[in-house]
A and B are shown apart, each in its own frame.
Chain A
Amino acid sequence: MFAKGTKRKFSDPGEEPALGAELGPVVRPLSSTYSLQRQSLLDMSLIKLQLCHMLVEPNLCRSVLIANTVRQIQEEMTQDGTWQIMTQALAAAQCPADRLVATEVLCRPSEALAAAQKEEEEEEVVVAAAMEEDVDSEANPLSSSSFLPAPFGAEPGWEDEEDDSEDEDSEECPSDAEDVPDSRRGDQVFGTFEIKHPAPPPDPALEELFSDVDPSYYDLDTVLTGMQSTPKMGPYDLLDSLSPHAAPALSTGTSCRSDLNELDHIMEIIS
């Protein structure tokens, strides 16, 4: 039941208060142990939100509870002041040089993504998550999950687009990460639920969605980026990702496209 190979400090009574233990509202130790544990919980929660079996609709109750946990952590980190540090560090990180080692805690078995073009095919995600044990700074640009959508990686046209827009997008990235509007918080999680559900034919929300789509919709780059950063969405959620809200943050493509999109993706969820 317990993850193997990971140091567990949570239930040790002699140490600092653990995450699962009682914490008074006033007593909030900013000790490194607590911060690490909190960060680990945040990472775990984000991955849980993203790793959904897409053959069957995900359990809404579970998703809501996890999202609330994420929000709670974020609020606490905002109060601590550690949130700003982390977002700045995430923005500054262009290309995490090290491909981070998967820990038992945070990853599922890395199965090769099916190369099939079928829409019903379940997407498996290769998660490379990390917990840097660097206690000095809380500003660890970590816990990024990389998604490898094989269907898109296989297309030759995609490679060309990537090279062309590389320079342009690497400049855009920092500003994008910081400008994430709060309105998109939870959008990736619940917006998809919203769009998925069959709406009555004259749905004002959907019509508005279509009316605001800008010409970048036709840009292959945007389309594929949109697909890539939210691999768990079905075919109809492409529309959601192409909405004006999502488009700016997603229209980046760099040589480290996948990493930046992960960061953006995480920013959108947690901000």
Chain B
Amino acid sequence: MGEDTDAPLTPLNHRGFLPDHNYVTEADIISTVEFNHTGELLATGDKGGRVVIFQREPESKNELFSQGEYNVYSTFQSHEPEFDYLKSLEIEEKINKIRWLPQQNAAHFLLSTNDKTIKLWKVSERDKRPEGYNLKDEEGRIKDLSTVTSLQVPVLKPMDLMVEVSPRRLFANAHTYHVNSISVNSDYQTYMSADDLRINLWHLDITDRSFNIVDIKPVNMEDLTEVITAAEFHPHHCNLFVYSSSKGTLRLCDMREAALCDKHSKLFEEPEDPSSRSFFSEIISSVSDVKFSHSGRYLLTRDYLTAKVWDLNMESKPLETYQVHDYLRSKLCSLYENDCIFDKFECAWNGSDSVIMTGAYNNFFRMFDRNTKRDVTLEASRESSKPRAVLKPRRVCAAGGKRRKDDISVDSLDFTKKILHTAWHPTENIIAIAATNNLYIFQDKLNSEMH
């Protein structure tokens, strides 16, 4: 794995959209990153409503360790800004989530969503075109019929590869609140979309109807104290899904039990340590992301300071707890003041569920090996990411503590550089890191296969 003494991570690609400027165009800020099921394609969504799809080039057979690089495959505008006339509010075009459908034919399908509307896009290739029409000439102009003296059969001739993206479904008007998650079911026919208070179940072919399966909206909005923060289907059992809340709870629901799954099958919650209670306890316990392991046996959650692995069979407490940046615990008041405490970090499993990864501040991201209990902090930055260079582990030391060379003091951390979105290739040790408006793709040079 890519740890400090083992095979190191090297940056494979660096998609910088703004070279060496401090000024960041808001619209270019990446808001979601997702590999498809084979890892051949990588999709990113940004604040401007655009989706960029990268494709991995086939590996060269000449060099033994030459790994395929990711290059831009297609770019399209998924969502546009809208205006809600009833509420006099803008609807942001920012892409909150992208989820790929499993590939069933030559085309690829993905779901992308902003705050209100989910869209299904078809991505297909065209590398042939018909030539030899009878009624049209090569430029498409209608031929003068008097010049047509014989019939010919049009034939398909190869052409330069063209990637076409077309919207196939529009799932709209089903969410009063902001959509934070979408998840495709293992039955490949349905998917769910979750907003702050409700979760809806859709059929991929039906856009004018959806089932509401979770509703935690109180009768009086004054009584609202908890919202849904993330939701995901179980990878194998199409009747099970999990959703997380702002109070740090996870609820596993079984759709076979009832049509409205307000009653959970299992409730995962770690009892609070009363001696460590503070005014910020609830805020930092809010779960920002939840992911099933590939095996379906574990859950990975991220709250503000930790990442936790839960066993589906044990509701009372997590199996493992990893401190992501505990040095921030004494800074919570300042982080509350500048709103950083509300940042929603995502988390990811590797393909074999042995390593978990999540982002932090100062463009740092962390990886934890569940077996060896070793962890590493790496930085996604232009300076440290020359192609083929090896990433150097970083260390954050407490203010005033013993400092080694290259260590960073807590007070020097840049809180505007946050890595919220990360993704791991489904089978190989390739990771995609979104750092504001830059996308970094790192690869484990020596151990390309998963252990």
Query: B152-185 interface mask toward A, CB cutoff 8 Å, 1 = contact, 0 = none?
Result: 0000000000000000000000001110000000
B17 in contact (CB, < 8 A): no
Please tell me if B6 contacts chain A, counting CB pairs below 8 Å: no
User: Per a CB cutoff under 8 Å, which of B88, B286, B336 touches A61?
Assistant: B286
**Residue among B86, B225, B339 making CB contact with A68, cutoff 8 Å:** B225
Among A20, A64, A120, A235, contact of B330 (Cβ-Cβ < 8 Å):
A20
Contacts of B88 in A (CB 8 A): 119-120, 234-236
Whether A22 is near chain B, meaning CB under 8 Å from some CB there, is yes
Question: Residue-by-residue, is A116-160 near B (CB-CB < 8 Å gives 1, otherwise 0)?
Answer: 000110000000000000000000000000000000000000000
Would you call A24 and B274 a contact (CB within 8 A)?
A: yes
**Contact with B332, one of A20, A59, A60 (Cβ below 8 angstroms):** A20
Docked pose: A59 CA to B341 CA in angstroms: 14
Residues of A within 8 A of B87 (CB): 57, 196-198, 234, 236
B222, A22: Cβ atoms under 8 Å?
no
Given A2-B334, A190-B224, A25 and B277 touching (CB < 8 A)? yes
User: Is B331 interfacial (CB-CB < 8 Å)?
Assistant: yes
- With A and B bound together, what is the CA distance between A88 and B88 in angstroms? 38
- Asked whether B36 is an interface residue with its Cβ less than 8 Å from the other chain, the reply is no
Residue of A nearest to B89 (CB): A57
A54 in contact with B89 (CB, 8 Å): yes
Q: Which residues of the partner chain A approach B372 to less than 8 Å between Cβ atoms?
A: none
The smallest beta-carbon distance between B364 and chain A, in angstroms, is: 15
CA distance A56 to B93 in the complex (A): 11
In the assembled complex, the Cα of A72 lies from the Cα of B279 at a distance in Å of: 7
Highest count of chain B CB atoms <10 Å: which of A18, A61, A64: A61
Contact A65 B276 (CB under 8 A): no
Asked whether A62 is an interface residue with its Cβ less than 8 Å from the other chain, the reply is yes
Interface status of B104 (Cβ within 8 A of chain A): no
- A window 69-90: CB within 8 A of B: 69, 72-73
Other-chain residue from B274, B286, B333 in contact with A41 (beta carbon distance below 8 A): B333
Question: Closest CB-CB distance, B247 to chain A, in whole Å?
Answer: 9
Interface check B149, CB cutoff 8 A: no
Stretch at the interface among A167-175, A181-189, A208-216, A218-226: A181-189
Cα of A55 to Cα of B83 in the assembled complex, Å: 10
* A65 vs B246: C-alpha distance when bound (angstroms): 8
When the two chains form their complex, are residues B246 and A61 in contact, meaning their CB atoms are under 8 A apart? yes
Q: In the complex, are the beta carbons of A234 and B89 less than 8 A apart? A: yes
Indicate if B280 sits at the interface (CB-CB under 8 A): yes
Q: Name which residue of chain A comes closest to B280, CB basis.
A: A20
Contacts of B224 in A (CB 8 A): 64, 186, 190
User: Least Cβ distance of B434 to chain A in Å?
Assistant: 20
Which chain B residues border A61 with CB–CB below 8 Å? 196, 227, 229, 246, 286, 342
Is B329 positioned at the interface, with any CB of A under 8 Å from its CB? Answer: yes
Whether the Cβ atoms of A187 and B280 lie closer than 8 Å is no
Check B215 for interface membership: any CB of A closer than 8 A: no
The proximity string for A residues 4-45 relative to B, scoring 1 for CB distances below 8 Å and 0 otherwise, is: 000010110000001111111100000000000110010010
Contacts of A20 in B (CB 8 A): 278-280, 329-333
Q: Once the chains are docked, how many angstroms separate the CA of A194 from the CA of B224? A: 11
Distance in angstroms between the alpha carbons of A2 and B196 in the assembled complex: 30
13 residue pairs bridging A and B, Cβ less than 8 Å apart: A2-B411, A22-B276, A41-B333, A60-B197, A61-B246, A65-B282, A67-B225, A69-B279, A69-B283, A120-B88, A190-B224, A194-B221, A197-B87
A25-B277, A44-B336, A191-B222 known; 8 new pairs, CB 8 Å cut-off, are: A10-B330, A20-B332, A24-B274, A55-B89, A61-B342, A183-B222, A186-B223, A197-B177
Binding site for B on A (CB under 8 A): 1-3, 8, 10-11, 18-25, 37-38, 41, 44, 48, 54-57, 59-62, 64-65, 67-69, 72-73, 105, 119-120, 183-187, 190-191, 193-194, 196-198, 234-236
Residues of B in contact with A (beta carbons under 8 Å apart): 86-92, 115, 176-178, 196-197, 221-227, 229, 246, 274-280, 282-283, 286, 329-334, 336-340, 342, 411, 413, 415
Q: Closest 4 CB pairs between A and B? A: A190-B221, A20-B332, A194-B221, A186-B222
